[in-house]
């Protein structure tokens, strides 16, 4: 077993949604700090209410959900009930988090605002980055580096299986063609060397989270579409202090016995510390030097400071939702009609935190 202890230096907030949403009553502004959201344990609040207030609570919720006719003051009345209980019993506040003015305004005025949750440890409350997300980023970067070495510019989609039948081409067949360095390869789980790559969840050292909107920016930097309200990890750019997550990468060398001798040598090299760093740097170059969508100057400078060109154990990578399509694909030109190199430069639009900051930028340090 090869085992690497790894540190992720979080440059811009990482956003990976659990699929769950905050209830509108869980997030509340208290006192005179309009940029600070309190995350409330609504269950505890309800337990502390009198029977009369519990009846009112049920009544207001039914009105807001449209079960019965209500008026425009219902939301403020319900929030007032919860807020009154919270002020008398501050222990029902789970934690507090920074939030943008736009996000706060929309949450406070819209009972149905959908605020996405990120992954957090159930015991400590610390945010974490799922190992599967990091493994996906490593897989793409390593395979892209191998593809570039082989100068493989497009997949072979005309395939036949072992029985001589026509095989319906899938995207992961191209991955196997890169792994096997042959045009005839068809994806097989048993022949996929990435099953020996084990990536743990990365736990953030800070409990801090923040809330903001993610806006789609189109042509001429104009905002369009509906904003996404979301929780996100703390980051160096936002807090102006180091924010890290720690985890590990393990290579299960015992499973290499299922491959031939030449393949074992190749895969050992592919998953070496040096090759992981080189592959991530190779892949990030496309993103950092994208001339169609120029990198935010402050973010780029911060990445360069955290990851100097001579470093042998650090490399940039981009994780999570809103990392853009070109962060997740091979650098080959697609054959569809049109002038855009989607896989290389991205499309017309960007999804940016607050309409300004690119999400998910980190620097990986393998110790």
| pLDDT, tens only, 203-227 | 999 999 999 999 999 887 788 888 9
Domain total in the chain: 2
Q: Are residues 259 and 289 in the same domain?
A: yes
137 occurs within a structural domain: yes
Instruction: Round the CA-based radius of gyration of the chain to a whole number and report it.
Output: 24
122 occurs within a structural domain: no
Query: What domain range includes position 338?
Result: 2-17+128-366
Q: Are residues 61 and 10 in the same domain?
A: no
Q: What separation in angstroms does the CA of 99 have from each of 12, 33, 212? A: 15, 10, 6
Mean pLDDT of 311-331: 93
Give pLDDT, residue 71. 58
Give pLDDT, residue 339. 59
The pLDDT confidence band at residue 309, using thresholds 50, 70 and 90, is confident
pTM of the model: 0.91
Ramachandran bin of 312, using left for φ above 0, alpha for ψ from -120 to 50, beta for the remaining angles: alpha
Question: In whole angstroms, what separates CA 63 from the centre of its chain?
Answer: 36
Q: Are residues 272 and 132 in the same domain?
A: yes
Give pLDDT, residue 323. 92
Q: Are residues 199 and 331 in the same domain?
A: yes
Q: Are residues 220 and 345 in the same domain?
A: yes
Does 65 or 363 have the greater pLDDT score? 363
CB atoms within 10 A of CB 274: 11
58 occurs within a structural domain: yes
**pLDDT tens digits, residue range 261-296?**
889 889 989 999 999 999 999 999 999 998 888 889
Q: Are residues 182 and 98 in the same domain?
A: no
Instruction: Note the helical H segments in the chain.
Output: 42-48, 51-64, 74-88, 101-109, 131-150, 171-180, 236-239, 261-270, 273-288, 297-306, 342-345
Q: Are residues 56 and 174 in the same domain?
A: no
Q: What separation in angstroms does the CA of 196 have from each of 74, 143, 250? A: 56, 15, 8
pLDDT higher than 70, residue 116: yes
The pLDDT confidence band at residue 162, using thresholds 50, 70 and 90, is confident
314 occurs within a structural domain: yes
219 occurs within a structural domain: yes
Q: Are residues 13 and 31 in the same domain?
A: no
Q: What separation in angstroms does the CA of 281 have from each of 133, 286, 289, 360? A: 18, 9, 12, 16
Give dist(CA 174, CA 15) in Å, integer: 28
Q: What separation in angstroms does the CA of 232 have from each of 33, 100, 198, 216? A: 20, 12, 25, 17
* pLDDT above 90: percentage of residues in the chain: 59
Q: Are residues 336 and 190 in the same domain?
A: yes
Give pLDDT, residue 340. 64
120 occurs within a structural domain: no
Report CA dihedral (257, 263, 268, 271) to the nearest 10 degrees.
-110
The pLDDT confidence band at residue 161, using thresholds 50, 70 and 90, is confident
Last residue of a domain, one of 52, 80, 112: 112
Last residue of a domain, one of 63, 83, 112: 112
Residue 276 near residue 197, CB atoms below 8 Å: no
Residue 48 near residue 92, CB atoms below 8 Å: yes
Kindly report which listed range (94-108, 166-180, 328-342) carries the lowest average pLDDT score: 328-342
121 occurs within a structural domain: no
**Parallel, antiparallel, or unpaired: how do β-strands 93-99 and 209-217 relate?**
parallel
Give pLDDT, residue 60. 83
Q: Are residues 96 and 12 in the same domain?
A: no
pLDDT higher than 70, residue 13: yes
Give dist(CA 36, CA 49) in Å, integer: 25
Give dist(CA 115, CA 24) in Å, integer: 8
119 occurs within a structural domain: no
Mean pLDDT of 164-181: 90
The pLDDT confidence band at residue 344, using thresholds 50, 70 and 90, is confident
Q: Are residues 54 and 188 in the same domain?
A: no
Q: Are residues 100 and 155 in the same domain?
A: no
Last residue of a domain, one of 57, 88, 112: 112
The pLDDT confidence band at residue 105, using thresholds 50, 70 and 90, is confident
């Amino acid at each position: 077993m090869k085992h690497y202890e790894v540190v992720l230096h979080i440059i811009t907030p990482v956003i990976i949604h659990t699929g769950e949403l905050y209830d509108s009553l869980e997030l509340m502004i208290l006192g005179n700090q309009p940029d600070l959201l309190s995350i409330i344990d609504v269950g505890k609040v309800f337990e502390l209410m009198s029977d009369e207030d519990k009846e009112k609570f049920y009544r207001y919720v039914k009105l807001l959900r449209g079960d019965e006719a209500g008026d425009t003051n219902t939301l403020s009345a319900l929030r007032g009930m919860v807020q009154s209980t919270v002020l008398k019993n501050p222990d029902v506040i789970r934690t507090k988090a920074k939030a943008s003015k736009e996000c706060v305004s929309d949450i406070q005025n819209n009972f149905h605002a959908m605020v996405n949750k990120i992954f957090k440890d159930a015991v400590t409350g610390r945010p974490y980055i799922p190992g599967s997300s990091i493994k996906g980023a490593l897989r793409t970067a390593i395979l892209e580096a191998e593809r570039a070495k082989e100068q493989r510019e497009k997949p072979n989609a005309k395939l036949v299986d072992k029985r001589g039948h026509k095989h319906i081409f899938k995207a992961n067949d191209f991955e196997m063609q890169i792994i096997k360095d042959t045009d005839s390869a068809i994806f097989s789980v048993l022949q996929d060397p990435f099953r020996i790559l084990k990536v743990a969840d990365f736990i953030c050292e800070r409990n801090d989270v923040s809330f903001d909107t993610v806006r789609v920016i189109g042509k001429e930097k104009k905002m369009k579409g509906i904003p996404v309200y979301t929780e996100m990890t703390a980051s160096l750019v936002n807090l102006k202090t180091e924010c890290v997550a720690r985890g590990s990468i393990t290579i299960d060398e015992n499973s290499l016995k299922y491959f031939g001798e030449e393949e074992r040598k190749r895969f050992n090299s592919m998953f070496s510390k040096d090759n992981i760093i080189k592959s991530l740097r190779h892949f990030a170059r496309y993103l950092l030097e994208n001339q169609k969508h120029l990198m935010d100057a402050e973010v780029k400078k911060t990445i360069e400071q955290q990851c100097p060109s001579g470093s042998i154990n650090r490399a940039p990578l981009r994780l999570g939702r809103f990392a853009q399509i070109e962060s997740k694909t091979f650098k080959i030109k697609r054959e569809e009609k049109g002038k855009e190199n989607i896989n290389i430069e991205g499309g017309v639009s960007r999804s940016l935190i607050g309409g300004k900051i690119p999400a998910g930028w980190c620097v990986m340090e393998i110790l």
